[in-house]
Amino acid sequence: MREKIINFFKKWLSFVGYTTTVPMELSNQDILTFIEAMKSVSGYDFSEYTEKSFYRRIEKILVDNHMDINQLILKIKNHPEYLEQIVKDITVNTTELFRDPETWQILKYQVLPKFQDLPVINIWHAGCSTGQEVYSMLILLNEMNLFDRAHLIATDINSDVLDVADKGIYKYRAISEYIDNYNKVIKENPYNYDEFNDIPYTKYFTVEKVDYTIRVKPFLRKKTIFLKHDLVKDRNIFDRHFDIIMCRNVLIYFNHNLQNRLFEFFYENLNQNGCLVIGKHEGMLSPIANKFKKKGVVFIKKE
């Protein structure tokens, strides 16, 4: 039955004009061949991405482009611009304003106050995607009177999402979820329910109902440097160490070996008592975990 369905699907695609092969099965060797082809023509290394996630991404790319794996490899070898598009399709870009409010509450009440006496606070958002997290940090810094002392760098492997982040224009449909997160972090105090800060959302965003967009105010947009950076192969290109490194919901797509190397990399590039913030579904195991003090998903470099 399954084979009949697959053959019917292929015939239907051919009938409506798709003449290329639709991938139904990918072997481990197919994936390895693709990874080696990417490394040989570009330097991008996906060999330590988690297998299931990477497999799903490649499978979707093949279906969307009506190709088999050999056709895909041939095209990336012959068309550099297409290769860059495939890299963008492989990487996952999901983020939102004040995602996981509990994390931001820990930053607000337990972490950031420790940096109040620093003349400069260096912050790196690694894997920043479309930038909502960067603007979340800037809003929080502004409310804590730390904005002027903060120097922010935000990076991603995907140049398209960096362009979105730099423009700071987002779809209006996300506003209800954004406002709910904003209220939990900026207006409410989970440690003192009697405290309420009536700071309007419009202090930082302009809602354009004509074109259904939310626009970040210019004073926030001008504060951050957005750069392309590959966490897998690029080292510290910034000529500085950091007090805070945000790398949330990125490491989950890497295997344990690569995660541990990146934890070591982040540790080496944090200032003393600096903190690394990761996603709530991500974790850190010994021995590198012994070099940090843990507060939820915030890992503070030990003295």
Nearest to 155 by CA among 100, 93, 87, 227: 227
DSSP 302: P
In angstroms, the CA 229 to CA 157 distance is 5
Q: What is the CATH number of domain 101-169+217-301?
A: 3.40.50.150
Q: Residue 112: how many CB atoms within 10 A of its CB?
A: 21
| Buried/exposed code over 265-298 (b: 16+ C-beta within 10 A; e: otherwise) | ebbebbbeebbbbbbeebebeeebeeebeeebbb
Helices (H) and strands (E) in the chain, counts: 11, 10
- CB-facing half-sphere around the CA of 9: CA atoms within 13 A: 12
Instruction: Going residue by residue through the chain, which has 303 residues, state the pLDDT in tens, using 9 for 90 and above.
Output: 555 554 554 454 444 444 444 445 788 899 999 999 998 988 889 999 888 888 888 999 999 989 999 999 999 999 888 888 988 888 877 789 999 999 999 999 999 999 999 999 999 999 999 999 999 999 999 999 999 999 999 999 999 999 999 999 998 887 888 899 999 999 999 988 888 999 999 999 998 888 889 999 999 999 999 999 999 999 898 989 999 999 999 999 999 999 999 999 999 999 999 999 999 989 998 799 999 999 889 999 987
Model-level pTM? 0.86
- With beta carbons less than 8 A apart as the criterion, state whether 246 and 133 touch: yes
Cα distance between residue 214 and residue 175, in whole Å: 8
What are the tens digits of pLDDT across the range 4-47?
A: 554 554 454 444 444 444 445 788 899 999 999 998 988 889 99
Distances (CA, A) of 234 to 35, 156, 181, 229, 251: 18, 11, 33, 6, 15
β 213-216/224-228 pair status: unpaired
* CATH 3.40.50.150 domain residues, the chain: 101-169+217-301
Taking the C-alpha atoms of residue 255 and residue 86, their distance in angstroms, rounded to an integer, is 21
Structure tokens at 245: 């490194």
Compute, in degrees rounded to 10, the torsion defined by CA atoms 1, 14, 83, 74.
90
Helix (H) or strand (E) holding 103: helix 101-106
